[in-house]
Structure 1
Amino acid sequence: MTRAVDVVVIGGGQAGLAAGYHLRRQNLDFVILDAQPTPGGAWQRTWDSLRLFSPAAYSSLPGWLMPVQNGTEYPDADHVVQYLSAYEERYALPVQRPVRARAVHRDGERLRVETDRGAWSARAVVSATGTWWRPFLPAVPGRETFAGRQLHTVQYRGPREFAGQRVIVVGGGNSGAQIAADLAPHTNLTWVTRRPARFLADDIDGRALFDAATAHRQALDQGRADTGGVASLGDIVAVPPVRAARDAGLLNARPMFERLVADGVRWNDGTTAPADAVIWCTGFRPALSHLAPLGLRGPRGHIATRGTQAVDDPRVHLLGYGDWTGPASATLIGVGRPAREAAADIARLLLQ
């Protein structure tokens, strides 16, 4: 049996919930399909010590400020999961889980969403699956010859399992810095980055980053000079654990190595470092395989968008994948505005 609604939202994390909030305000009939068995999106899978870049009030979805977490200015992942769970319940959002979307097909004037729990027919689809489920590993020579353990950010939980080991952390972004800071007191750490580590000023957090990303997008949209956006400020937010490790001299990044060898890594000048484990904090790619049947990808695999709307099929919106789907849209505070715009666009489309 195929069930029919106005809109299917694929993904029940922060972007999907923000979309649901605004679709409800547009009085649309919609469903949110979440592949995870419990609420909280990717925040359920992060490492134990992860902290938000912003205070709770500046890390909120539309309509309801995140409550303060006692004892800390920057909430942890468990607090975010609790907030997302409560948010979903507060607004009685129609989330069905676990339901995994397998493919979206054109079906005349509608779209058919095939899942492992049956099919849905919709007049519009919001893809809000994020990137956490598609970790990126760079093609570094020798990866297959390294005899130690290799894992990505998504598999890291905490320093206990690496105590006393020689660990190489690869990545100069926030994940790399936070995990390196987490490991530094407990391991023989080597932190490796492709370019010198750039810490933001200690008084800059997610509030300033959101403002910078928004100003960057507005400047580009209005044909004004490029402000440089977040990249002009630095790469790493100095949240308290990172700041403490940096100030203690524990975060001294080395340049990227040339290749892995059986017992560690080697730089192009011939120097080596032994390693028991390598942790790749090397980012993610959008999880969009369910949209493949629509043929929206361009020559380089990128889906062209106008705002959140797919250029080649205006019934499809992409939400929460990064600045190309809205300024800071991969953040809690940043996803609200593009979610509102997507819901408004969909409402106008359905009136035609």
Structure 2
Amino acid sequence: MGRSLYLILNRGLVVFGSFERSTIRDETSKSALIFTTSSLLKFPDTLTETYLQEFVAQQSMTIEFGVDVDRISVVSGNYHLSTNKGAVAARNLFIATGRDRKPIIPAWAGLEHFRGEVIHAAEFGSPQEYDGKRVLVVGSGNSGFDILNHLAKQKPSALWLSSRHGPTLVPKRLFGVTVHRLSPLLACLPTRLADAALAATSYMAFGDLRRFGIGNPTAGGASRLKDGTALASDDGAVRAIKAGTIKVMPELQSFDEDQVHFRDGKLVRQTSLLQRLVTLLISKGSSAISIC
């Protein structure tokens, strides 16, 4: 691997991976590469795939794609990386792989016998790939609702959501204003007040979702943000849940060859979901390592 003053190693094959691109693909694109005071207030509208590609080109950044780092060691004060494309040495190392870098699939009973397809959210790919399929999304956090938002606009033959706890859910926009733009204001509030503000925003936007099977979150949104748990953002999924297009199921308990078992208090319900079932397991992190 060639030497460079500044080098970025990325496991993905493009500047902006497929899952991250799906997260904000409907935001407007802007070509300005310098954030002004006004443009910062419009974040993340300015943070688009086009922007990142233009930024990389303008800065002449050296990026190696498709790189897996197997081992990092320190020799004589320098970092030595072993990768699938050769060795790399650097004086300084920045690791930006995210807190959820390694996909985790729970060890549900019977999963090894299940004949349906099991896909982790990190490998979600294109929403169009799920047209005509029976899809069970497990987990209602940030990644889970992002997937639901996209699948609600597609044509799966059936769509379910199973979750242990309710999410801290906010609308993408409220009264025409992007909710993320209010983040600086929430950051100025004490955590308890910010929790209350987020709960009020959710209720104002969606009403009481418990009658549709979505439970209350285990903690307030601002409190969970401090623990590293992102808010879930709605962009069509709640409408589909209320319409019955997305059916909310109890907590997933176990699998057998052609059925998924759900827990509902002391009751276990069996639902046959064999026909081309895809289970999406929710956990996602970034995959870039920067060294210089």
Q: TM-score range by the shorter chain?
A: 0.5 to 0.7
Whether the 8 Å CA contact 2:261–2:269 is kept in 1: the answer is: yes
Whether the 8 Å CA contact 2:136–2:162 is kept in 1: the answer is: yes
Structure 1 residues 242 and 138: CA distance shift in structure 2, 3 A: same
Higher strand share: 2
Q: Does 1:46 align with 2:16?
A: no
SS of the aligned residue for 2:92 comes to strand
Structure 1: unaligned runs, 5 residues or longer:
6-28, 218-225, 289-317, 320-342, 347-352
Structure 2: unaligned runs, 5 residues or longer:
192-220
Instruction: Kindly state the Cα deviation for residue 200 of structure 1 after the two structures are TM-superposed.
Output: 1.7
Give distance in 1, aligned partners of 2:230 and 2:49: 28
1:260 is aligned with what amino acid? F
Which residue pairs with 2:254 in the alignment?
259
Question: How many aligned positions are there?
Answer: 246
Instruction: Kindly state the Cα deviation for residue 263 of structure 1 after the two structures are TM-superposed.
Output: 1.2
Give distance in 2, aligned partners of 1:211 and 1:95: 36
Q: 1:242 pairs with 232, 237, 240, which one? A: 237
2:63 is aligned with what amino acid? V
Structure 1 residues 175 and 147: CA distance shift in structure 2, 3 A: same
Structure 1 residues 238 and 87: CA distance shift in structure 2, 3 A: same
Give distance in 1, aligned partners of 2:190 and 2:89: 37
Which residue pairs with 1:274 in the alignment?
272
Which residue pairs with 2:144 in the alignment?
176
Give distance in 1, aligned partners of 2:132 and 2:8: 45
TM-score by length of 2: 0.64
TM-score by length of 1: 0.55
1:38 is aligned with what amino acid? V
2:234 is aligned with what amino acid? A
Q: Does 1:31 align with 2:26?
A: no
Structure 1 residues 64 and 48: CA distance shift in structure 2, 3 A: closer
2:240 is aligned with what amino acid? A
User: For 1:248-270, what per-residue CA distance to the aligned partner results, in whole angstroms no more than 9, with x for missing partners?
Assistant: 34345222121112212112413
Which residue pairs with 1:188 in the alignment?
158
Instruction: Kindly state the Cα deviation for residue 140 of structure 1 after the two structures are TM-superposed.
Output: 1.3
Structure 1 residues 2 and 187: CA distance shift in structure 2, 3 A: closer
Give distance in 2, aligned partners of 1:54 and 1:213: 23
Give distance in 2, aligned partners of 1:210 and 1:56: 22
SS of the aligned residue for 2:90 comes to strand
Percent of paired sites with the same residue = 21
Alignment of 1:98-247 (within 5 A): 98-130=66-98, 134-158=102-126, 160-184=128-152, 186-201=156-171, 202-203=173-174, 205-209=179-183, 212=186, 228=223, 230=225, 235-239=231-235, 241-246=236-241
**Alignment RMSD:** 4.4
Give distance in 2, aligned partners of 1:119 and 1:281: 33
2:7 is aligned with what amino acid? V
Whether the 8 Å CA contact 1:100–1:116 is kept in 2: the answer is: yes
Give distance in 2, aligned partners of 1:198 and 1:227: 9
Give distance in 2, aligned partners of 1:265 and 1:170: 12
Structure 1 residues 253 and 234: CA distance shift in structure 2, 3 A: farther
1:148 is aligned with what amino acid? G
User: For 1:213-237, what per-residue CA distance to the aligned partner results, in whole angstroms no more than 9, with x for missing partners?
Assistant: 79789xxxxxxxx962537998421
